[in-house]
Amino acid sequence: MKNVLVVNAGSSSIKYQLIEAETGIRQASGLVERIGEPQGRILHRGERSDEHELAVPDHTAGFTAMLDAFARHGLAAQDLGIVAIGHRVVQGAGEFSAPTLLDDRVTERINALSELAPLHNPGHYQAIVAAREVFPDVPHVAVFDTAFHQTMPPQATTYAIDTAVAAEHGIRRYGFHGISHQVVSRRAAEFLGRPVTELRQLVLHLGNGASACAVDRGRSVDTSMGLTPLEGLVMGTRSGNIDPGALLHLMRAGLSPDDVDDLLNQRSGLLGLTGTGDFRDVRAAADRGEPEAELAIAVMVHRIRHYLGAFFVSLGGADAVVFTAGVGENNAALRADVCAGLEWLGIRIDPERNAAPNGEARRISTDDSPVAVLVVPTDEEAEIARQTWDLVTA
């Protein structure tokens, strides 16, 4: 059996999935967390699940803990059939527009890009170094969240500030969630039975993190996230768009850059508006008539519709609007709110289809709706495995 190990690591955690290369079927998955703390933990799901507390001083120990978990399930390292390892990397900036084989130089470039992604790239780097040490004999591939958006035209990537300052600090729009937007737009096209290269799609990835993407015939031409994954939609704990003047105002009032970072990344969005960042809780509170929760959802919907309108224009009309990720796949009421009153745009939702839960790709618009509205589950790990396998077998 040929398997790709997909690694999605942060500075204190490693998420992994073992995926059969040719079929995309998931064999096992797990999470090592609290790396570097006195007591860490591994949750492993193979044929059965198990949970183990242990010290995981660093990422190398994290991969060893993963191998031990497989061994407890009767699978020694050499039985895992790992033919390649695909690493998710959030920030590839303007340097990486495709999956890239990891050698020493690429590994160091990912570390150097930490400046643009201080919350993400340092953890990826640590995991890549450790994984290359633990698995020296297989190819390692970096799959970037920014790569899919490298096709955005300059007018969509440029912030209107002094060009010299922008160039010196790498200030431009990169966009994120590219792996998800890519797999979802491809699967939506498959569902519709049409080549992705013929479709104008508007993909709404609504999870804890959230972003919209205008996908024009398979290429990203605009997206809501920018220099960092903070711009754009209202998220679980992130503000999305805010007047940059508000930041200046807060800093003049005495907040440090770290305070503002913490405010906008960790204590804003649904959490800031309601006290909880989990959409299910906010929805339940809104259903009970709690005004803060109702307002939070209204703000979230208003912002999504803002981008819906903008990207319809960017694309010159859309063939499909596609909902994905935790909220987009699971909450019919949110989808109904986003699409409400848009019949004039060609969006006609079938309420029964919208309400029918289903884990597969499906249509929630009426058969005569000019714009197909779909729910398509995202699967970033399967896409990383696919891109990794494609690269190593090319």
List contacts with ligand ADP (CB under 6 A): 207-209, 236, 278-280, 325-327, 330-331
Q: Quick one: 378 exposed, middle or buried, by C-beta within 10 A (0-12, 13-18, 19+)?
A: buried
**40 assigned ligand-binding residue:** no
Q: Which is nearer to ligand ADP, 29 or 331 (CB)?
A: 331
Cβ(90)–Cβ(13) below 8 Å: no
Q: Which is nearer to ligand ADP, 82 or 233 (CB)?
A: 233
**89 assigned ligand-binding residue:** no
Residues 371, 372, 378, 383, CA torsion sign: negative
**290 assigned ligand-binding residue:** no
**358 assigned ligand-binding residue:** no
- How crowded is the C-beta side of 11, counted as CA atoms within 13 Å? 9
Q: Which is nearer to ligand ADP, 27 or 237 (CB)?
A: 237
Both tokens of residue 363? 């249509």
Q: Is 145 a catalytic residue?
A: yes
For tokens 């039985």, the residue is 79
**329 assigned ligand-binding residue:** yes
Phi, psi of 301 (to 5 degrees): -65, -40
Q: Which is nearer to ligand ADP, 103 or 292 (CB)?
A: 292
Q: Which residues are CB-neighbours of 299 under 8 A, at least 6 positions away?
A: 234, 273
Quote the least distance from Cβ 277 to ligand ADP, whole Å. 7
Quote the least distance from Cβ 378 to ligand ADP, whole Å. 7
Quote the least distance from Cβ 326 to ligand ADP, whole Å. 2
Q: Which is nearer to ligand ADP, 199 or 233 (CB)?
A: 233
Quote the least distance from Cβ 383 to ligand ADP, whole Å. 14
**194 assigned ligand-binding residue:** no
Helices 279-287 & 291-315, crossing angle to 10 degrees?
A: 120
The active-site residue out of 137, 145, 222, 350 is 145
SS3 content of the chain, % helix, strand, coil (to 5): 45, 20, 35
Quote the least distance from Cβ 276 to ligand ADP, whole Å. 9
- Minimal CA–CA distance to 264: which of 289, 285, 243? 243
CA distances from 144 to 94, 180, 202, 250, 387 (A): 11, 11, 21, 33, 10
Both tokens of residue 245? 């003047």
Quote the least distance from Cβ 318 to ligand ADP, whole Å. 22
Quote the least distance from Cβ 233 to ligand ADP, whole Å. 12
- Minimal CA–CA distance to 275: which of 296, 248, 251? 296
Both tokens of residue 226? 């920018």
Say how far residue 6 (Cα) sits from the centre of its chain.
15
**327 assigned ligand-binding residue:** yes
Both tokens of residue 300? 């979230």
Cβ(387)–Cβ(99) below 8 Å: yes
Q: Which residues are CB-neighbours of 78 under 8 A, at least 6 positions away?
A: none
Give the nearest residue (CB) to ligand ADP.
326
**245 assigned ligand-binding residue:** no
- Binding-site residue numbers are 8, 15, 88, 205-209, 278-280, 326-330, 380
Active site residues: 145
- Binding-site residue numbers for substrate are 88
